[in-house]
Structure 1
């Protein structure tokens, strides 16, 4: 079992160049301090080390008061390049901006961050990457470079049928031994 503390981004300091740069950016702009009441978690490809050139930093947040959240985003991040706030649904706020050439996307919703699909996908993907090793990681990155999104890339390598986002979540219940035998 792999028990990385995903809430503490200090793991990025020991990572690849982009992870180290991401750590420096995130700590410099104090984003996790600013968003602390929203239980922020960095998710996606950069934490997993399967990012490609245009990968962004995705931060998920649990939000109860969206107007207050929007004001915090504006007050703290509107100074950055290409700052924008969009609304996907009534209870989803997305904020994007660029710092030192890396896009940051903050996704605020009413879901607990540790129960969100983005976090759950990352946990499953981390387990798979640790189980299957460097060739598996390379296959995922190659598919991403060729235009596939992360979850479809995992699904293709694992030969999962149907909706890749749902299929990956089904793998949460498998033990590492079951995953290793199955794929």
Structure 2
């Protein structure tokens, strides 16, 4: 595993500037639309496959946010992002809102709940996956990408390669206690 000096601070999207071509492209898009300044009061964190460099062609940008007042947050989304292609907002539950839209052919999904961003399952899964990728290396990463290209979801791909049984989302979270820094 990489030492602490090499661990990425995923809470600051500037790491994307020096990443893969897709990461650099995403950084430019997020900066251009002022995403993280617009959402700064909601602890936005980019999560998912793009930060981990295990994305495939149709991977989207997933951003988690912590929200207390969903009406105000919804207004911010409408005020700033309705101009983009395929804009839509839906409530999954009372305290979960999902907003999707497309910018320069890349789908962006904002997932907001009343859970602190760094405590959401999306962020927790990403950190676990990041540590596993560092632990097992490039062949492991390539295997994950291969499975994703075959249509397998990210957490399911990790579970398959790691021979995990049961719900892959829950099984991956069990790794947290073993991968502590």
- TM-score scaled by structure 2? 0.95
Q: Does the CA-based 8 Å contact 1:58-1:107 persist in structure 2?
A: yes
Say yes or no: does 1:25 pair with 2:39: no
Q: Match for residue 12 of structure 2?
A: 8
Partners of 2:54 and 2:18 in 1: how far apart? 15
- 2:148 matches 1:122: no
Structure 2 residue matching 1:69: 3-state secondary structure? helix
Q: For structure 2, list consecutive stretches of 5 or more residues without a partner in the other structure.
A: none
Q: Does 1:157 align with 2:157?
A: no
Q: Contact between 1:6 and 1:41, CA under 8 Å: does it hold in 2?
A: yes
Gaps spanning 5+ residues in structure 1: where? 178-183
1:103-114 correspondence runs (5 A): 103-114=107-118
Q: Count matched residues.
A: 177
Map of 2:75 onto structure 1: 71
Partner Cα distance (2:19, 2:143) in 1: 19
- Residue 26 of structure 1 deviates from its aligned partner by 0.3
* Residue 171 (structure 1) aligned to one of 163, 172, 175: 175
After TM superposition, list the pairs within 5 Å mapping 1:85-104 onto structure 2. Answer: 85-104=89-108
| Shift in Å, 1:16 | 1.0
1:145 CA displacement: 0.3
> Match for residue 39 of structure 1?
43
State the partner residue of 1:180. Answer: none
Instruction: Give yes or no for contact 2:128–2:179 (8 Å, CA) kept in 1.
Output: no
- Residue 66 of structure 2 aligns with which residue? 62
TM-score, normalising length: structure 1 = 0.94
**1:139 corresponds to 2:139:** no
Instruction: Tell me what 1:83 maps to.
Output: 87
What is the alpha-carbon distance in structure 1 between the residues aligned to residue 131 and residue 16 of structure 2?
17
